[in-house]
């Protein structure tokens, strides 16, 4: 997609997001499971942000182009490329 934008005509702002809406905790758990016992999850309170995040503040709007692999596909493609591997 970067090559398409670089080689194409000027488009202004182009918003792109992955193909799925996911929960940040679920993403962190998936990464921790992939990395194994060397990763420890520690809860961090985010006063004031919890309500916004729960309301989808970081999710893309309906007009955003959805592309790319799913998170599970991307994570599987990184096997063996981690910082401790």
pLDDT, one tens digit per residue, over 17-60 is 889 998 888 888 898 888 877 878 788 888 877 788 878 888 88
DSSP string, 17-84: E-SS---HHHHHHHHHHHH-TT--------TTHHHHHHTTTTS--TTSEE-S--HHHHHHHTTT-STT
The answer to whether residue 46 is domain-embedded is yes
The answer to whether residue 85 is domain-embedded is no
pTM: 0.65
- Average pLDDT on 8-14 reads 77
What pLDDT does 1 receive?
67
Query: How many domains does the chain contain in total?
Result: 1
The answer to whether residue 22 is domain-embedded is yes
Residue 30 domain boundaries: 12-77
What pLDDT does 75 receive?
92
Give exposure, 42-73, as e/b (b: 16+ Cβ within 10 Å): eeeeeeeeeeeeeeeeeeeeeeeeeeeeebee
The answer to whether residue 82 is domain-embedded is no
Quote the CA–CA distance of 51 and 27 in Å, as a whole number: 19
What pLDDT does 77 receive?
92
- Indicate whether 82 pLDDT > 60: no
Quote the CA–CA distance of 48 and 39 in Å, as a whole number: 27
The answer to whether residue 3 is domain-embedded is no
The more confidently predicted of residues 78 and 49 is: 78
């Amino acid at each position: 997609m970067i090559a398409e934008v670089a080689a194409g005509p000027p488009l202004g702002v182009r918003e792109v997001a992955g193909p799925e809406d996911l929960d940040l905790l679920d993403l962190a758990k998936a990464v921790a499971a992939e990395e194994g016992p060397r990763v420890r999850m520690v809860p961090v309170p985010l006063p004031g942000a919890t309500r916004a995040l729960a309301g989808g503040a970081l999710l893309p709007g309906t007009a955003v182009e959805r592309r790319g692999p799913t998170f599970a596909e991307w994570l599987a493609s990184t096997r063996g490329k981690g910082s401790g591997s």
